[in-house]
Structure 1
Amino acid sequence: MDLFNAVHEQMDAVRLPLVAVTVTAARRPNTPLVAILHWHGFRRASPLVLPGIDIPPRSVPGSAIQLTHAWHCVEAVDEALLDAAWQLGAWDLERVERRGCNVVGASAGEALACRQAFGDYEGASADEALIDGAPDRAELMQLAADAGYLRWLFRPVKGGVWRQLDEPDDTLGPDGGREPPCPVLPIPPTPRQRPARGRTVYRLGAVRRILLP
């Protein structure tokens, strides 16, 4: 599973800085993953030019990618995400585990979080919120509502908007990225017999010097 090259191809095509990359998987081995690239940029809401009328710009929609590589355990997905987050200079990688929202006692907030994890944004039309390159996204979201899901998040520095902040991180190269391999190892997820509501944060960045005010 080469998420790093998949993200790089999209960055070369879109040519906008990234805010974040999220990847979501239904809690079933070997099912496709949905990666969403969240861009920082704006476009005109309409190509029409009307005298005296200022048409406000809208945010550029995210890009959804379907990753169909086989995976037998969550740690295998973690390894691919750690590799991508490491090379793209992210400070950390977050993994959250959530139960399905089609269970007794699940709240409306849980259902909303599940939809958003798969790029289904309530109140926004499809072309405004997402450029959909994940043909099985709706089916995977339904599977996640029944079986639970995992969602990963990282914020790239290389090719991302975060490079402008110039935050201290002594592991980054001049371009905001890092050379592989990633030294951080995957951590097993919450056992299935427990409620799936875990959160794991992999720390990738580091400051090895004293920062003076």
Structure 2
Amino acid sequence: MDLFDTLHEQMTTVNLPLYAVTVTAVARVNTPLVAILHWHGFRRATPLALPGVDIPRRPVPGSAVQFAQPWHSFEAVDAALLDAAWQLGAWEVERVERRACSVIGASAGEALACRQAFGDYGDGAPGDQHLIDGAPDRAKLMQLAAHNGYLRWLFRPVKGGLWRALAEPDDTLDADGGRRLPCPVPPKPRRADTAGRTVYRLGAIRRILLP
């Protein structure tokens, strides 16, 4: 599974800096993955130009991409995410594991987090205002996650991203803000309690920073 090529193709096509990339999977092997690319940029609400009227700009909607390649372990998804984040210069990768939210005792906050992980922000706005949907099974996968739980990965790219100018010093980066394979950080097994947060640290500072 090579997530990097697809993400790089999207970045080249949209040609805007990325704020973050999230990837969500139902807690069931060999189901499609949903990646959402969160862009940093603004556009006018309409191409119409009216004399004396300042038409406000709106945030560029994110891009949802569905990955249907077969996978048979969560460690394989971890490895693919780590490789992509490593090449894009991310400081770290966060993996969050969440239980089903359609069970008795689950809170409204858990249900909201599940929807947002699949790009459903529940604000009543038309989908094209906040998301360009290239994931045809997104709604079905969200319902499946509500009954089975899900995992969500997040990283913030430096190469091709907003963080190129804002990131902390990182001595592992090349001149363009990326890194060359192989990624030296191995995947970690899922948590036994199927809930929690795991952070993979990719960046490093190997020098003394003077005030």
TM superposition score category, shorter chain reference? over 0.9
Q: Give the structure 2 partner of residue 180 of structure 1.
A: 181
SS at 2:154's partner residue? strand
The two structures, once aligned, show a CA RMSD in angstroms of 0.8
1:48-197 alignment, distance < 5 Å: 48-123=48-123, 124-191=125-192, 194=193, 196-197=194-195
Letter of the 2:44 partner, please give it. Answer: R
Q: Following superposition, which runs of at least 4 residues in structure 1 exceed 2 angstroms of deviation?
A: none
Give matches, 1:29-48, under 5 Å. Answer: 29-48=29-48
Matching residue's letter, 2:17: P
Decide whether the 8 Å contact of 1:189 with 1:198 is kept in 2: no
1:30 is aligned with what amino acid?
N
Out of 192, 199, 202, the position equivalent to 1:201 is: 199
Q: Distance in 2 between matches of 1:158 and 1:204?
A: 14
2-structure distance, mates of 1:100, 1:48: 45
5+ unaligned residues in a row in structure 1: which ranges? none
Q: Return the offset for 1:52.
A: 2.1
Length, aligned pairs only = 210
After superposition, what is the alpha-carbon deviation per residue over 1:168-201, rounded to whole angstroms, capped at 9, x for unaligned? 100000000000010000000112xx3x321000
2 CA distance for matches of 1:61 and 1:115?
17
Determine the structure 1 residue equivalent to 2:5. Answer: 5
The CA deviation at 1:49 is 1.6
CA deviations 1:82-120 (Å, max 9, x no partner) are: 000000000000000001110101111111100000001
1:45/1:57 contact within 8 Å kept? yes
TM value normalised by structure 2: 0.98
Matches of 2:51 and 2:104, distance apart in 1:
55
Matched with 1:14 is: 14
Contact 1:102 1:146 in 2 (8 A): yes
Distance 1:38 1:156 in 2: 11
